[in-house]
Amino acid sequence: MAEIKKVRQMTENPYVNLYQIDGVNKKGHPSNYFVASRAKQIPELKLKTRKNTPDGVVIYSLYGEKRDHVVLIRQYRYAIDDYIYELPAGLVEPGEDYHDAAVRELHEETGLDFEPIQADPMFEKPGFTTIGMTDESCATVFGYASGEITSRFEEENEEIEVVLADRAEVRRILKEENVAIICAYQMMHFLSETTPFGFLTDGTGQV
């Protein structure tokens, strides 16, 4: 296992920072690595805390009486200078339960109300987003959305279009559009299932 020799903080920003890591791998080869993190200071890095506390939450929500539409957002991202389809998501505030964060974030991004379902913790536990670049991890919350779409609660720096996609539209998006990988995997579940959230069930049809 590699050994970390030194960590240096390169930036001081409120939402994401860059850290330089000097280390030696198990073969004795020195490494100079850069990691982006939501951590505001070195002691908050996951390599220091050894805790996988979710920085954010990803929301997989179904919509409609038949629950035959999935809630997506089409969002402009500077990293690609283009639009990309994603699941609604956002940061978990300090001390906030990530289920509560999911309710808040879905409402802020879409105007919709969100009712989380209780899923086995193994489906919700935080997963790392792009581990080659960042220690950021996000929990996934599943549930049902209702209400009317509005951009009234959208932040000024966001450029978001809410999409309620049926299976035909999901198939088109996967074929033709930019799609975030976490979103793409859940869209594949949506396409293949006849029962809403079928992959979360225990074999008896119960989530």
Element (H, E) at 69: strand 69-77
Token readout for 45 is: 């890095």
Supply the DSSP symbol for 101. H
* pLDDT over 90 at 155, yes or no: no
pLDDT at 153: 76
- Average pLDDT over every residue of 104-122: 95
Higher pLDDT, 151 or 108: 108
C-alpha radius of gyration, the chain, whole number: 19
* pLDDT over 50 at 74, yes or no: yes
Token readout for 166 is: 């049926």
pLDDT at 170: 98
* pLDDT over 70 at 178, yes or no: yes
H-state helical runs in 130-194: 167-176, 181-192
pLDDT at 114: 98
Confidence label for 152 from pLDDT (cuts 50, 70 and 90): confident
Contact 126, 97 (CB under 8 A): no
H-state helical runs in 28-93: 46-49
How many distinct helices (H) and strands (E) make up the chain?
Answer: 5, 11
* pLDDT over 90 at 125, yes or no: yes
pLDDT at 205: 47
- Average pLDDT over every residue of 104-114: 96
Measured CA angle at 199 (ends 182, 146), to 5 deg: 70
Give percent above pLDDT 70 in the chain: 97
pLDDT at 206: 55
pLDDT at 156: 79
pLDDT at 73: 98
